[in-house]
Structure 1
């Protein structure tokens, strides 16, 4: 059996079962059904700031190529998102190598703060890696997604890590985040992983999803890091399942609910119009 592959369809990611070839939507694409009205204002602000900060350049560009100037301005938020996504991908690769025990001493300057903070996390928490970068697959609800890690951490009675592993062991599903802040929808994402039926690793081997004690997000920015617990209970998961139904509505059902017209207006062509042809 091969590994799980992914495909993009209409802007959404789908996971393909290596054995049955069944396609299911990715967890991130399902969570993307959550309304985000603030993005409209954020994108407008990015465009406005670019226009003001580079007004002379944009003005000269518009004189030569108006459409090009428009494309340059409206692409401001997209370019920023891509840059952040690239940094996030590189950081995630770095974190995976480090959590697997690879000693990473030198990285590019823009990644050095992330390396430093992840190393501090490893020292302060001293987790045991159970799984990393495998796919969680739900047969019951038809979705899949790649999670960052399942870790075993030892906590004291107050829920604080004991790096000497003297506390009580807890099996946690963990997500690395390098965004500006941690947002509530991470709970939807992680509850989906935790409530999946099985795990598929990079070689296509399958394992039952273990009984987890909880979830946590490791939020790392160039300035600081924080390890935070995340709720993944049934109430949170039910919200994800609602979004899963919305995904089906958006991609499939909505295209079937309006039928072809059974009556409509008739366009009258006058004699004058016919003679003018």
Structure 2
């Protein structure tokens, strides 16, 4: 059996079962159904700041190519998002290599703060890797997604890590985040992974989703890191399932709810007098 493939359709990611070729939407695409009105303000602010900070440059560009200047300004948020996504992807690759035990001593200067913080996390928490970068697949609710890691972490009675592994072991599904803040929708994402039916690894091998004790997010920025518990209970998962239904509405049902017109106008009425006057 081969590995799981992903495809993009209308801006959403779908996972393809290597055995049956069944396609299901990705977890992040489902969570993307959540309204995010703040993004409109953020994008307009990025455009405005770019315009103010580069007035002379934009002015010269507009004098020669007005459409080009408009495209340059309206692409401000997209370019920023791409830069952050590139950093996040490279950091995730770095974290996977390190959590698998690879000794990484030298990275690009942009990644060095992430390497140092992740190394500090490994020392302060001392987790045991159980799985990394596999696919969680739900046959029951028809979705899939790639999770970062399942770790075994030892905690004391107050829920604090014991790096000497003297505490009680907890099996956690964990997500690495390199965004500016930790956002609440990570709980929806991780609850979906945790409530999936099975795991598919890179070689196409399948395993049942283990009984997890909880979830956590490791939030790393260039300045600091924090390991935070995340709620993945039934209440949170039900909200994800609501978004899953919204996804079906948006991609399928909404396309067929309005039928063809059974009556309509046929243009402006032309009277006999008007026809004779022609």
TM-score range for the pair, normalised by the shorter chain length: over 0.9
Sort the Cα spacing of 1:269 and 1:223 in 2 relative to 1 into closer, same or farther, 3 A. same
Q: How many angstroms apart in 1 are the aligned matches of 2:191 and 2:268?
A: 59
Q: Supply the RMSD in Å over aligned alpha carbons.
A: 1.3
Q: How does 1:167-182 map to 2 (within 5 A)?
A: 167-182=167-182
**Partner residue in 2 for 1:54:** 54
| Matches of 1:86 and 1:99, distance apart in 2 | 20
TM-score, normalised with respect to structure 2: 0.97
**Does the C-alpha gap of structure 1 residues 274 and 86 become closer, same or farther in structure 2, counting only changes over 3 Å?**
farther
Aligned to 1:268: 268
Residue-pair matches, total: 276
Q: State the distance in 2 between where 1:144 and 1:46 align.
A: 33
- Residue 186 of structure 1 pairs with residue 186 of structure 2: yes
Runs of 4+ in 1 over 2 A off after TM superposition: 268-276
Matching residue of 1:67: 67
In 2, distance between residues paired with 1:236 and 1:19? 31
Q: How does 1:120-159 map to 2 (within 5 A)?
A: 120-159=120-159
Q: Which runs of 5+ in 1 are unaligned?
A: none
Q: CA, structure 1 residues 240+274, in 2 after alignment: closer, same or farther (shift >3 Å)?
A: farther
Q: 1:240 to 1:268 in 2, by over 3 A?
A: same
Scaled by the length of structure 1, what TM-score is found? 0.98
**CA separation in 2, counterparts of 1:50 and 1:268?**
48
Unaligned runs of 5+ in 2: none
Match of 2:209 in 1: 209
Q: Secondary structure at the match of 2:59?
A: helix
Q: What is the SS of the residue equivalent to 2:180?
A: coil
1:95 aligns with 2:102: no
